[in-house]
């Protein structure tokens, strides 16, 4: 069977999953889905497994930059194939994860990760995939790292800025720099 994956220009799949949204008793879990990002820019990033080593460094870095995403009117979502109880236990146990400001989505059935085409062949865990989704639900950027290599959150923000200009942005462009004008004539 050929592995297919969701890529740039395609619609992000519809989903509804349980997520850890708080450590406050009675408010820990919530259903998060397509309805929560409808009509908004969104960034969804995936990590392979809870209680591992590279993953918390990435999750903590996304959390440190949370207001950078919200300042760009962008919904930030994290996800893995671990269940919501494992997510909760990890947040309680790990100092850098206790005060997360975005949901940790539990794709326990692996259905969304499978539809996205980001499950590793051997362990069936999600690769380190990052999606930028526009307000129409179209994937505008996807980046997938090997399981052993953490991603660059500053690059996610740089690409988000470029996409939100809706203009031509040259190599290494950063917010505030000139965009390109197409040649006419």
- CA–chain centroid gap for 125, Å, is 15
26 backbone dihedrals φ, ψ, rounded to 5°:
85, -10
What is residue 158's three-state secondary structure?
A: helix
118 backbone dihedrals φ, ψ, rounded to 5°:
-115, 15
Rounded-to-integer distance, Cα 152 and Cα 52, Å? 18
Query: Is residue 169 annotated as part of the catalytic site, yes or no?
Result: no
Q: Which of 51, 71, 72, 47 is nearest to 61 (CA)?
A: 47
Average pLDDT, the chain: 91
CATH assignment of 16-165, among 3.40.50.300, 3.90.1300.10, 3.40.50.720, 3.40.30.10: 3.40.30.10
Q: Which of 50, 80, 69, 60 is nearest to 132 (CA)?
A: 69
Among the listed residues 55, 118, 159, 169, the single catalytic one is 55
Across the 185 residues of the chain, what is the mean pLDDT of every consecutive 10-residue run? 79 97 92 97 94 80 95 97 91 86 95 95 91 98 90 94 92 89 77
């Amino acid at each position: 069977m050929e592995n297919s994956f969701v890529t740039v220009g395609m619609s992000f799949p519809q989903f509804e999953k349980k997520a850890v949204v708080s450590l406050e008793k009675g408010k820990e879990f919530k259903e998060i889905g397509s309805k929560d990002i409808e009509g908004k820019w969104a960034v969804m990033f995936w990590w392979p497994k809870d209680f591992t080593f590279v993953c918390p460094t990435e999750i903590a870095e996304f959390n440190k930059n949370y207001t950078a995403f919200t300042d760009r009117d962008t919904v930030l979502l994290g996800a893995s194939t671990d269940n919501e109880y494992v997510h909760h236990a990890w947040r309680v146990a790990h100092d850098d994860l206790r005060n997360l400001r975005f949901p940790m989505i539990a794709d326990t059935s692996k259905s969304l990760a499978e539809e996205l085409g980001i499950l590793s062949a051997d362990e069936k865990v999600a690769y380190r995939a990052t999606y930028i989704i526009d307000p129409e639900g179209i994937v505008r950027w996807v980046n997938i790292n090997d399981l052993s290599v953490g991603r660059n959150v500053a690059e996610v923000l740089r690409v988000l800025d470029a996409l939100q200009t809706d203009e031509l942005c040259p190599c290494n462009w950063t917010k505030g720099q000139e965009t390109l004008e197409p040649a006419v004539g």
